[in-house]
Amino acid sequence: MNDKSLPAIYITNLEKEFYGHRVLSGLNLSVSEGETFTILGKSGTGKSVTLKCIVGLLLPDKGEIFVKSKPVNPKDHKTINEIRKGIGFLFQGGALYDSMSVRENLTFNLRRHRKISIDEANEKAEHYLTLVGLANAMDKMPSELSGGMSKRAALARALITEPEIVLYDEPTTGLDPITSVEISRLISEMHNQLKVTAIVVTHDILCASIVSNRAGVLDGGVLKYTGTLNELAAVDDPDVAGFFKRAF
Amino acid sequence: MKKFFENIYEMTSFSLRFFKELPLPPYEAQEFVKHVENFGLRSFPLVSVIGILMGLILALQTRPTLERFGAESFLPAMVAISVVRELGPVITALVVAGRVSSGIGAEIGSMRVTEQIEALEVSSIDPYRFLVVPRIAAGIIALPLLTAYADLLSIIGAYAVTFISGGTSWQLYASSVISSLTVADIVPGLAKTFIFGYIIAAVGSYFGFNAYGGTTSVGKAATASVVFASFLILITDLLAVKVGILIFE
């Protein structure tokens, strides 16, 4: 299957288990070009696993994933590397390279994959760090940054290569409510400016309400409900309703 | 037991992958230089102390015995041969394994638990080529140099004992050392240090790479790196001695 008319991200019947414990059991998802889709769900429901399958960090047991109509197969190094070059990934803990300064974290990927001069790379790094409000932390090491600053730096790193798709793994986890809202707004602004397709994995409804066009609730290894947040809030299911009640 | 052999198999495949990846671009020259510095230059103070102490202790221990047989003039040759063939390579490798292998295990292990290795993968950068190949190459280059340096310091350390005890001149001592050493002493002694350097970096990288399971796994990776690297150094030395005898004698 290699259909050019497929959505930007298309997942069909995705299954994944770890040590006999089934995490995903037939997940289907399609995210259109320019759309921001939020996967909501309690901890341990397979939200991060889904993202890692999309970028080929995990090999699904069953099912197919297409990114920009290209099949994701971690064993096909050439194709997966091509797919990954078009994806920005924000890890839950930031995953900044701790042996490099913030500036180097940003310019590292750029300089490896694009033949650009160090001055151009620095200029871009400065631009993206300014966008996330970290212009004055360029030469700091990751160990010198607070949790919120690390997330901002990681966000800038995910966006500096100007990817067509961005995947966010719990962008607001571990942050105070004010910083969470700031990060969520930042993501939303970035999407408006850069017109990216995105999947945001979170259990923070407030973040979801700021960033997403559409959302789905992951439960029992499948996306149980999908729709706008208002549609999900109206779902007559105690688990989903509880989710919304806890948040507001 | 099955798990043990699985580990050995995985570690072997992981280590041998180095030879497949080494000739392939991109060449991580900057990383290589950084790791030579970490492996080699930063080990210099420790290796200096160990080298001198090794010579001092060896001379202090053997001089009385040699005197008993009226053979103290053999001390320079005895020290030179023991150090160049065996003590220098093995003790330097064990000391460097304690410092570097654990460091590599902990560093790569913490990169694993904080998802930095996954971040490299997502950026289309092969973590093995970026993290492991330069470290092993640095180990292979740096350890022979460190060993040669430690050997030299040991011989100088042993001279200090000889000088204090009998007042032998440096010229006499040095010419005795040089005349006693043959290719059969120097080549096997240095050749095995290339393998020891490879083991130290490969074992540390392997345990770091497989440090799944939170921060405790980082500590475990560091400990396992030193234990396994030391064990493999001694086993390799045993085999290298046997091979050296077969080839040179």
Give A107-119 pLDDT, tens digit per residue. Answer: 998 888 777 899 9
Write the single-letter amino acid at B46. Answer: L
Half-sphere exposure for A205 (CA within 13 Å, toward CB): 16
DSSP string, B42-79: GGHHHHHHHHHHHHHHHHHHHHHHHHHTT-GGGHHHHH
Closest residue on chain A to B117 (Cα):
A95
Residue contact B122–A89, C-beta within 8 A: yes
Q: Which long-range contacts (CB under 8 A, 24 or more apart) does B87-91 make?
A: B87/B54, B87/B58, B87/B154, B88/B51, B88/B54, B88/B147, B88/B150, B88/B151, B88/B154, B88/B189, B89/B147, B89/B189, B89/B190, B89/B192, B89/B193, B89/B196, B89/B237, B90/B233, B90/B234, B90/B237, B91/B50, B91/B54, B91/B150
| B37 reaches A (C-beta below 8 A) | no
Residues of B in contact with A52 (CB under 8 A): 118
* A178, amino acid identity: I
Q: Is A188 exposed, middle or buried (0-12, 13-18, 19+ CB in 10 A)?
A: middle
Nearest to A11 by CA among A167, A236, A188, A182: A167
The whole-number average pLDDT for the span A65-92 is 94
Residue range of the domain that includes A13: 9-247
Q: Other CB atoms closer than 10 Å to residue A238's CB: what's the count? A: 9
| Closest CA of chain A from B120, distance in Å | 9
Find chain A residues with C-beta within 8 A of B120's C-beta.
97
Q: State the count of interchain CB pairs (< 8 A) between A and B.
A: 43
Domain count, chain A: 1
- Exposed e or buried b per residue across B8-33, where buried means at least 16 C-beta atoms within 10 angstroms of its C-beta: eeebeebbebbeeeeeeeeebeebbe
Count the helices and strands in chain B (H runs, E runs): 12, 0
Instruction: Answer whether residue A246 shows pLDDT above 60.
Output: no
Q: How far apart are CA A67 and CA A55, in angstroms?
A: 9
Q: Please provide the size of chain A in residues.
A: 248
Q: In this complex, do A84 and B123 lie within 8 Å of one another by their Cβ atoms?
A: yes
Task: Kindly state whether residue A80 falls inside one of the protein's structural domains.
Answer: yes
- Split at pLDDT 50, 70, 90, the class of A122 is very high
Give SS3 for A213.
coil
For residue A84, being part of any structural domain is answered with yes
Indicate which CATH number applies to the domain containing A74.
Answer: 3.40.50.300
What pLDDT is attached to residue A4? 58
Tens-digit pLDDT profile for residues A97-106: 999 999 999 9
Q: Which residues of A touch B (CB under 8 A)?
A: 52, 55, 57, 81, 84-85, 87, 89, 91-93, 95-98, 108-109, 112-113
Mean pLDDT of B36-41: 91
Residue A165 lies in a domain: yes
pLDDT, one tens digit per residue, over A180-196 is 898 899 889 888 888 89
Chain B residue with minimal CA distance to A163? B123
Domain chopping of chain B, boundaries: 2-21+29-248
Measured between CB atoms, which of B110, B119, B125 is closest to A91? B119
Contact A47, A224 (CB under 8 A): no
- pLDDT of A154 over the 90 cut: yes
ipTM reported for the complex, 2 dp: 0.90
Count of CB atoms within 10 A of residue B130's CB?
Answer: 17
* 3 state SS of A201: strand
Q: Which residues of A touch B26 (CB under 8 A)?
A: 112
**For residue B112, what is the nearest residue in chain A, using CA coordinates?**
A95
In a domain, A242, yes or no: yes
Note whether B118 contacts A57, CB cutoff 8 Å. Answer: yes
Q: Do B115 and A92 touch (CB under 8 A)?
A: yes
CA distance A178 to B119: 27
CA–CA distances in Å: residue B10 to residues B65, B108, B118, B204: 48, 17, 20, 14
Alpha-carbon distance A102 to nearest alpha carbon in chain B (angstroms): 14
Contacts of A81 in chain B (CB under 8 A): 124
Which residues of chain B are within 8 Å of residue A67 when distances are taken between CB atoms? none
pLDDT band at B146 (very low <50, low <70, confident <90, very high): very high
Distance CA A32, CA A68 (A): 10
Confidence of residue B177 (pLDDT cuts 50, 70, 90): very high
Average pLDDT over residues B200-226: 94
Pairing status of strand A70-71 against strand A214-219: unpaired
Q: How far away is chain A from the Cα of B14, in angstroms, using its nearest Cα?
A: 17
Select the residue of A81, A87, A91 nearest B115 (Cβ to Cβ).
A91
How do residues B68-88 score in pLDDT, each as one tens digit? 888 888 999 999 999 999 999
The continuous run of DSSP H or E covering A18 comes out as: strand A9-18
Taking CA atoms, B248 is separated from A78, A115, B56, B193, B244, in Å, by 48, 52, 29, 17, 6
Interface mutation vs chain A, best among B27, B104, B116, most A CBs within 10 Å: B116
Number of Cβ within a 10 Å radius of residue B82: 18
Amino acid at position B245, single letter = I
Report the distance separating Cα B75 and Cα B150, nearest Å.
Answer: 18
Which of A157, A154, A92 is CA-nearest to residue A124?
A157
What's the average model confidence in pLDDT over B42-56? 95
Which among B213, B209, B226, B216 is positioned nearest to B108, based on CA atoms? B209
Q: Enumerate the β-bridge partners of residue A9.
A: A31, A67
Distance of CA B149 to the CA centre of its chain: 12
What is the separation of C-alpha A198 from the centre of its chain, rounded to a whole number of angstroms? 6
Give the SS3 label for residue A140: coil
| A1 has a pLDDT exceeding 60 | no
Is B122's CB within 8 Å of A87's CB? yes
Q: What are phi and psi of B43, to 5 degrees?
A: -90, -10
Over residues B155-175, the pLDDT tens digits come to: 999 999 989 887 788 999 999
A-chain residue closest to B118, CA distance: A57
CA–CA gap between residue B244 and residue B85 (Å, rounded): 10
State residue B110's pLDDT score: 96
User: Cα separation of A54 and A87, whole Å?
Assistant: 10
* A2 is a domain residue: no
Q: Do the Cβ atoms of A91 and B125 come within 8 Å?
A: no
**Residue B61: CB atoms within 10 Å:** 10
Distance from B93 to chain A by nearest Cα, in Å? 26
Flag whether A178 is in a domain: yes
Judge: B124–A81 Cβ closer than 8 Å, yes or no. Answer: yes
DSSP A57: S
Band (pLDDT 50/70/90 cuts) for residue B211 is very high
